[in-house]
Amino acid sequence: MAMEEMINDSQFPQQQIIEETASFFRKVYGWMFLGLIVSGITAYYISIRPEYYKAILFNKWVFYGLLISHILLIAMLVGFIKKISAGLAVFLFFLYCFFTGLTFSVIFLIYTVESIEKIFLISALMFGAMSAYGYFTKTDLTHIGQVLIMGLIGLVIASIANFFMKSEKTDYILSWAGVIIFTGLTAYDTQKIRKTNIIGNEGTPEDTKESIIGALTLYLDFVNLFLKLLRLFGKRRR
C-alpha cells in the first residue's frame, strides 16, 4: 500500500508517517552513499593497475560480459526483489556497484583526478538540490516524470545510433539532454520513492529491500548525471 493511501485512510498518525519516512530515506541515502564509495574506490584502484584495466577495458569479452552483468543484476533486483532475501538484495546491490566501478575505471584514464573531483562535487550539489525538491514539494511530478522517462528512452536509442555514427556534435547535444533528463528524474524518483514507501514496515526485511531499490534508483540517477557532466566539462589528460 502506498504512503498516500495510508495518509488518506488515516491508518497512521501524521507524526509517525513523517518520522518513518525520514528514517527510510536515511537508509536509502545511506545505501546509495556506500554504493558510490564502492564504485569510486574500485574504479580508482583499477585505474592505477595497468594489468587490471587492460584486462577489463581492452578485452571485449570481459568488457561486454560486465555490461551484460549490469543488466542481469538490475533485472534480478527489480524483478525478483519480493522473492529474494534482504541479505541477497544488499549483496546484489553492492555487486552491481562493484561492477560499475570496474567499467568506469576508464574515466580515471581519460580525465584528470582534479576534474573528476570537481565534477563529482557539482553533481552532488545538483543531485542534492533536486532530491530535496522532490522530497519536499507538494507538486505532483508524475506527468513530468512520464515525459522524462520517454525522453530517457529516446536518449538511449539516440546514443546507440550515435555509437555507430560517432558524431561529436550529436554526442554534445545528447550529453546536455542527459543532464536535463537525469536532473529532472532525480526529483521525480525521490518523490516516487517517498510516495511508495510502506509505513508501518520499519525494521523488517521488506523495509530493507525497499530501501535498496530506492538506493539503486537514485544511484543510477546520480551516476548518469555525473557522467554527462563529466563528458561536457571534464578536463582530459594530455
Residues 144-178 have pLDDT tens digits of: 999 999 999 999 999 989 888 888 899 999 999 99
Name the band, by pLDDT with cuts 50, 70 and 90, for residue 57: confident
The predicted pLDDT at position 30 comes to: 97
Summarised one tens digit per residue, pLDDT across range 78-105 is 888 889 999 999 999 999 999 999 988 9
CA angle in degrees (0–180, nearest 5) for 39-27-100: 15
Q: Is 76 a member of any domain?
A: yes
Better-scored residue on pLDDT, 124 or 202: 124
| Amino acid (one-letter) located at 38 | V
| Amino acid (one-letter) located at 160 | I
Distance separating alpha carbons of residues 182 and 232, to the nearest angstrom: 14
Contact present, 107 and 48 (Cβ < 8 Å)? no
Whether the pLDDT of residue 7 is over 50: the answer is no
CB proximity list for 172: less than 8 A, separation 6 or greater: 232
The mean per-residue pLDDT over the stretch 60-73 comes to: 85
Q: Share the mean pLDDT of the chain.
A: 89
Q: Is 5 a member of any domain?
A: no
Q: Is 167 a member of any domain?
A: yes
- How many CA atoms lie within 13 Å of 2's alpha carbon, on the beta-carbon side? 9
Q: Is 6 a member of any domain?
A: no
Name the band, by pLDDT with cuts 50, 70 and 90, for residue 35: very high
The predicted pLDDT at position 143 comes to: 94
Beta bridge partner(s), residue 236 = 111
Q: Global pTM? A: 0.89
Q: Is 199 a member of any domain?
A: yes
Ramachandran angles phi, psi of 81, nearest 5°: -60, -30
Name the band, by pLDDT with cuts 50, 70 and 90, for residue 1: very low
The mean per-residue pLDDT over the stretch 124-130 comes to: 97
The predicted pLDDT at position 4 comes to: 41
179: left (phi over 0), alpha (psi -120 to 50) or beta: alpha
Local structure of 34: helix, strand or coil: helix
- All cell numbers assigned to 145: 516524470
Distance separating alpha carbons of residues 57 and 78, to the nearest angstrom: 28
Q: Is 1 a member of any domain?
A: no
Summarised one tens digit per residue, pLDDT across range 185-198 is 999 999 999 998 88
Q: Which of the given ranges, 3-7, 80-84, 116-120, has the highest pLDDT on average?
A: 116-120
Question: What range does the domain containing 92 cover?
Answer: 13-233
Q: How many domains does the chain have?
A: 1
Q: Is 135 a member of any domain?
A: yes
Q: Is 8 a member of any domain?
A: no
